[in-house]
Structure 1
Amino acid sequence: MNVNHISNLWIQRSAWLIAIRPKTLGAAVAPVLIGTALAISDGMFHLLSCLLCFLASILIQIGTNFSNDYYDFLKGADTTERLGPKRVTQSGLLEPDAVKKLFIIVFGLAVLCGVFLVVRGGWPILLIGLLSIASGILYTGGPFPLAYHGFGDIFVLLFFGPIAVSGTYYVQALEWRELTILAGLIPGLTATALISINNLRDAPTDVKVNKRTLAVKFGENFVRREIQFALILSGVLPILLVVMKPSQWPALFSLLVLWPIFGVIKVVLSDTKGCELNVVLVTTGKILLIQSLLFSVGWTAPVFLR
């Protein structure tokens, strides 16, 4: 094995890591954390279902990232003017066919993880799984890509929020609870703010390729206010949940994220543009994961302190 071969292997390995986009995986983990916390607090925790939910969710997120990389390249949305992280297809690090094959394989692995979950949870879990994979592909692919017609935000709100949290809870408890919908809005709203910051940053280049996100349709000021609303509501929702179930008061420790939330809002409302938004994009991703961790630990704390 010569030096050039080793170098090529290293470059290819690095390319796959870039394509996976590890920093986005927190959005896949967050709702599963909260759904599992709700199941634990109700005495309905199921270990295998929990682990498979985490694995399937991460695989669907990775598959979606590969799919977006591939279809954005085909539609010409990723150009040299791009302000976000490098895209492997557009930059030539990986061939389009290789990226396409991989997202099919990754979604296939997610389906395999879902077999047990479907056997346990029945058709509701089958429906959630199929819709999640289909939406991951149709986010930027297909004849009516969601992200290109301003539906990306609602997709993120639902699938990274109430749907993921409720599905995680249901496959463990085998029953539905209205509380999971409300709790699901916590990660859903923060994830929506995350994608909105991304769209705000990319608006000048998106408009050139007819990618009509809400930032393009309604303007930057609208999206800045959307981000503010989503983050504040997400930050204070634990108060309402604790009012509904006072015994879970330790979940209020998740309010600690309000401090960095207000920091993000200050930057977003200060007319910051372009690559300068990358900093708050990373911060919001961290808020999403930390917020979900604090809420989940706090919500389950009474179970372990009895």
Structure 2
Amino acid sequence: MPRVQRSPPATPQETDNNPPIFSTPDLFSKPNEPDTANITSRTKRQRPDYSPECEVKTFEDKIMKLFTAWKTDQESLLKKLTSELTEIKLQNVEIQKTNAETLKTVEFLSQDYDSIKKSLQKLETENNEQRNYIVNLEKKIEDLQSSSRSACIEIRNVPEVEKETAGDLTSIVLKTFETIQPSENTPQLRDVYRLPGKKGSSRPIVAEFLTVPSKIQVLEACRAFNKGLPSTEKLNTGHIGVPGQVKPVYIADHLPRSQRQLFFEARSFAKTNKYKFCWSQNGKIFLRKSEGMDSVIIRSTACLKKLLTIEK
């Protein structure tokens, strides 16, 4: 059987005739004091962590932390930049000092360079003067040598006899003269000797006459003897009685060493460039292209270079 609940009795209504009845009168209340005894304080309920207000506050805290960290980094970076700028300024000051010292050094070196340049120019001028003086001296020496050899001839390609004496050389020279000019009087000799050279080579024989006309006479006689003859019948060792294999014999002016080298180059030039004649006479070297043409005096290798330019 279901339980039956009874309603509570009705509370009598408060009216002017029926005032409220309190069980415990307020014996200690003051007449002028407002009646707040029945007012109770309200405790504020704490918000949960997931509320929007907490999320905003947490975001603000994060932003502040980031801003604080960024500010700290910026201050550190600014201090570092300030320190580096200060160091750069100090370095700049040192560089300026170094540049000033370098500029002074450059100016000093420039002055020294100008002084050295003037000295070098002076030395170069003196050197050119000395060189010209030496060239003039060499020409004078060559002239003296040519004049001292003006009565000398060379007889080339005559083999050297073992234990050869001055008498043997004189005999060879006289036989040569008799071969090329048998009807003429034999020219008188002043000296006969061989030039220095390598062992085993046919060193030229130098025959020195008493007079220049005697030398010229022998040279003309040699040209006349060889003229018109084939190469095998021209003056050779067989004509002068030298034993052994027959070799051609050449008679020419006796030139100084520098002139001999020039004569050798002139003969090579003549052979290469088809010059028909190349000879020396009275210490001078001549070239001629062909018969009937003018002869050219060769005084130096520059003359050969000039001729080569003309040929081209």
- Give the TM-score, by structure 2 length: 0.21
Kindly indicate whether structure 1 or structure 2 has the higher relative contact order, using CA contacts under 8 Å at least 6 residues apart.
1
Structure whose alpha-carbon radius of gyration is higher: 2
- Give the TM-score, by structure 1 length: 0.22
As a proportion of its length, which structure holds more helix?
Answer: 1
